[in-house]
Amino acid sequence: MKFETINHTADVGIIAYGKTPGELFENAAFGMFSLITPLEKVSEKILISVSIDAHDNEELLITFLNELLYYYSSKKVLFKRFDILKVSETHLDANISGEQISAHEIVHDIKAATYHDMKIEKTSDGYKTRIIFDV
C-alpha cells in the first residue's frame, strides 16, 4: 500500500508507507497529488528536477512536498510520477513529471504540507509517516 487517507477536522491528511526512505517520499508525494485530483487522468508531459536541502528527514519531506505545491499553485502543474534519485537525512534529488492543470477536476485545493503530528517512523515493513495538509 502506498498511502491511506485520514480525516482531520478542517484539513485532509495521509499516512504514507515505503520500504525505503526514497519510496516513502515518492508515495507521500503521490498521496498528496491523489488528494488534489484523480491521477489516472494526468499525463507525463512536463519533467522537472528538484534538489532540496534541510536540517533533518522530516523537514526534508515537508520542504519537498511544499516545493511541489509551489509548482502546483504558481505554475499550475499537476504531478503524477515521482522518482527519488537520491535521498539522505538532509538532501534529496528527484525527477517529477506531470502536466498543466487545464481541465482537470480539483478535489482538494491543498495549500501546504504541515508539521502537525508529523514524524517519519521506521517499522518492520520499512517506513511510514502521517502528514496533514492545509486546504
The CATH number of the domain where 35 resides is what?
3.55.10.10
Confidence (pLDDT) at 11: 87
**pTM reported for the whole predicted model:** 0.96
Provide mean pLDDT across the span 106-113: 95
103: domain range? 3-134
- Dist. CA 80–CA 42, nearest whole Å: 7
- Per-residue pLDDT band for 10 (boundaries 50, 70, 90) equals confident
- Dist. CA 118–CA 55, nearest whole Å: 15
Structurally, the chain folds into a number of domains equal to: 1
Confidence (pLDDT) at 77: 97
